[in-house]
Structure 1
């Protein structure tokens, strides 16, 4: 907000999603009082692992995604959950997975969430973002698309993601999403010892692709990743990552 014009700030504050967030904050303060950190009567953001289906075999996948689980919800129940979240004035839904773009229920779920004036984002590996998908994301009103890329080197990313050609398809997906100019696009990297020395290159690559954001995720050795605990960063490496991110934050 601090780097925007008065008109831009006013527009954001008047958006339906922001109004929902302001209402939730006021209800929370009325219920709990001012606290630090502030307690909320409902979560402002819900991250929803929408499906377990995935087309990649990522070595670090915390969900051990792959096949659809028998207990996954029907579309009717998914839409009912969005109704419940909306009644509680949840501000934002982040659809994740698995690979959310593999679930046909994603589109009606997004449309429902937008109808309820929610901020909607998806986390995807980017490989399924065709021109048609990139356009459809704009049509349904997605606010933010986050695409994973763990190396500037094709072979390294493909090996980590367990699928040949994943890097090339992900980069194409990023370019197609950015070209829509209808929603924000972010590049997200899970930082491990495998790509620790690439952090600045990853940030520069993200900038060159025209993305709006770059995220450096902490590696959590659970799920498939429990066998890769040796890839976790040392405390000194983690400190260097934070310093690098802070440097770019100040420059941008």
Structure 2
């Protein structure tokens, strides 16, 4: 059985597969208060919450995940959560999906990455919480040396997109500039995504930081929602099941 408990599909046809659980305890983690894809309407999330409380949602087997993605014509599945790499079934699941022509893009803190996993996936969004180790421990409860060593190891793989979260009064632009310099020292062609904190998205500060970081690392950006996109389709769990 995998740690997969929730799957949605976007209008692009890509799916997002959520894995339950994480071995870090990030102080600002959105999943501490939200289990479902953030793009789903609140009334639907409330219904899913009721199913969760009643323990009417089960974790999926490898074949169940494969079946759901195949039935809906998915060709690319983003694996996030949570932390997918703590799932013992992660590699077998990815290998099974590859046999069906479905690629996986992994969203991870990077601490548990290895060469086999990097080789298996189409791409990796590697989240660097902080370069400063004491700040990293304050945020996550763990040191960052293993994650940073893995970033160094795979920086030239051609599969890494770096990511961090701008958190006011915690991870601001001075720290993010340090992360950018670290990335540039390894591979200046890596793309670097700076995400506003969901709970407190100070967009103007983030955009100003991006302008500064681009002077060091040109491929720096954030995802901007237009407000015109259609809501994702809920593939699992289905209401009424």
Q: For the superposition of Structure 1 and Structure 2, which TM-score range results when normalised by the shorter chain?
A: 0.5 to 0.7
1:48 corresponds to which of 2, 17, 21: 17
What is the deviation of 1:217?
1.3
Structure 2 unmatched ranges of 5 or more: 1-8, 34-54, 221-241
Q: Which residue of 1 aligns with 2:95?
A: 111
Name the residue aligned to 2:146: 169
Greater helix share, structure number: 1
Partner of 1:33: none
Counterpart-to-counterpart distance in 1, 2:107 and 2:84: 8
1:222-245: CA deviation from partner (whole Å, max 9, x where unpaired): xxxxxxx4xx53x54133134335
Moved more, 52-61 or 239-248: 239-248
Alpha-carbon spacing, 1:57–1:240, altered in 2? closer, same or farther (3 Å):
same
Structure 1 residues 25-174: aligned runs within 5 Å: 42-49=11-18, 51-64=19-32, 71-85=58-72, 88=73, 90-129=74-113, 134-139=114-119, 141-161=120-140, 163-165=141-143, 167-174=144-151
Instruction: Please give the root-mean-square deviation of Cα atoms over the aligned residues, in Å.
Output: 2.8
Question: Residue 82 of structure 1 contacts residue 112 of structure 1 at CA under 8 Å; is this kept in 2?
Answer: no
Pick closer, same or farther for the CA change 1:203–1:110 going to 2, 3 Å: same
What is aligned with 1:189?
164
Counterpart CA distance in 2 for 1:164 and 1:59 is 12
Structure having greater relative contact order (Cα 8 Å, sep ≥ 6) = 2
Given the two structures, how large is their TM-score scaled by the length of structure 2? Answer: 0.67
Structure holding more strand per residue: 2
Shift of 1:76: 2.4
The 2-side partners of 1:156 and 1:170 are apart by 14
Q: Distance in 2 between matches of 1:75 and 1:109?
A: 6
Q: Which has the larger radius of gyration?
A: 1
Deviation at 1:79, TM superposition (A): 1.9
Deviation of the 1:128 alpha carbon: 1.5
* Structure 2 counterpart SS, 1:63: helix
Q: Structure 1-normalised TM-score?
A: 0.64
Aligned length: 186
Q: Secondary structure at the match of 2:16?
A: strand
